[in-house]
Structures are given as C-alpha cells and as structure tokens.
Amino acid sequence: MRRISLISAIVLLFGLTAISIFSGYYIGLNHANKKPIPQVEELENKPNIVQEQEIDDLNRLREHETGSDEEIIGPNTFIEYKVLYTECNHEIIETRLPEQNMINMTKERFEGFIINNHPKWKVELFSHNKITLFIEKNHLCQNHYVIGEKNGKIAVFRINEYGERILEKVYNDAPISLLKEIDQEKIKRGIVTDNKEELSDILENYIS
C-alpha cells in the first residue's frame, strides 16, 4: 500500500509540474501576440507627429525672421523695373534695391504706394526676395539713334527717356539736297538705327 501511495504522489507531482509549464507557456504566448499592437500604432502615428513638429518649427522660424507669416520688403529685396518700348519692341530691365521708405511694406501697402506715386507702373511679382514692376512706353528706347535732317543738313539724333529726338550732331558739309529724292525723303522721315555701329554703317552711304 505504501508503495502505491508513493507512486501516486510522484505521478501527481509530475502532473502539477506539467500543468504549470503549459500554463506559463500559454500566458507568455498570449502576451507576445498582443504586444506588437501598440508598437504598430506608435509607428503609424510617429511620422505625423514629426511632420507636424517640422511645420511648427518652420512657421516659428518664418515668424521670427519677418515678425509675421506675410511677406514684406527687406533691405536686400531686389526690385526689378521692366520697361517694354512698343515702337521698337525692346524690353529694358533695371534692378535696384528698395528705397528706405519701402522697407517693411507688405504687398498691399506697396501696391497702394505704387498707385499713388507711380500710377503707370504695375506690380507683376511680389515676394520677399524679388519684386517686378512693369510699364509700357509707346516710343523708341534710348539705345537707338536716328539719322535725320537739321536746316537742310544731315544730322544725328539720340533718343531720350521720353522718346524725344535730341540733336547729337549736324554734318554741315553734307546737305541733303545732294542726295537722290528717295534718300532725301528717308532722311526727312528719320532712319532709325539700333546702335552706334549700324549708325556708322548707314552714315557712310550718305557722307563720303
């Protein structure tokens, strides 16, 4: 009897041990299966958090530089003055830094300033780095010279900023009366040249 009781005790002990091992494995397996869920959610949400943080940092930096999220004129803003001369179809561009009273102007204030002070100009582009102003002028640009007539003599005229002919030189020993009638008419109307080189070439045909 005692031997049977001993065997029963040993079997019971092994049974309890096996149950404990199985229970521990099952609990650990459930825990392992559930653990990745919050990690996946964290990874899914993390890029959004980083992106929002970067946007906030960028906005704060921009506000620090300008004091506002609205673009304004700074001391190093380039202002491009673009003029189209319709008679010769030439476009002249000049770039300057802003006048002192323009600094810190917003687009709205600058447009108002231009309307009040330079109403013929239009604001084509406005940014903190660059502003473009545009105007059309219905005459020749200042790069041209005109071969014309002054007191019956061949003369050369330059063009001023208003498109007016300004007398540059009169060739007193070259009366237009010595030319063919068709050439006289051309000179009376004015022969427009694009530069000094072209001017010299054409003058050689009439003065020699």
173 burial via Cβ count (<10 Å: 0-12, 13-18, 19+):
exposed
* Residue 180 token pair: 């063919």
State which H helix or E strand residue 191 sits in.
Answer: strand 191-193
Query: What is the reported pLDDT for 207?
Result: 87
Please tell me what DSSP assigns to residue 160: -
Q: What is the pLDDT of residues 148-193, one digit of tens each?
A: 999 999 999 999 999 999 999 999 999 999 999 999 999 999 999 9
Burial 59-93 (b: 16+ CB within 10 A, else e): eeeeeeeeeeeeebbeeebebebbbbbeebeeeee
The pLDDT value given to residue 11: 54
pTM of the model: 0.61
The domain limits of the chain are: 50-138, 145-206
User: Cα(60)–Cα(173) distance, rounded to whole angstroms?
Assistant: 75
- The residue ranges of the chain whose pLDDT is under 50 are 1-4, 26, 29, 31-52, 55, 57-66
pLDDT value of residue 200:
94
CATH code of the region 50-138: 3.10.20.420
Do 88 and 96 form a contact (C-beta atoms < 8 A)? Answer: no
pLDDT for 74: 96
Helix ranges, 93-169 (H): 107-117
Average pLDDT, rounded, for the chain: 80
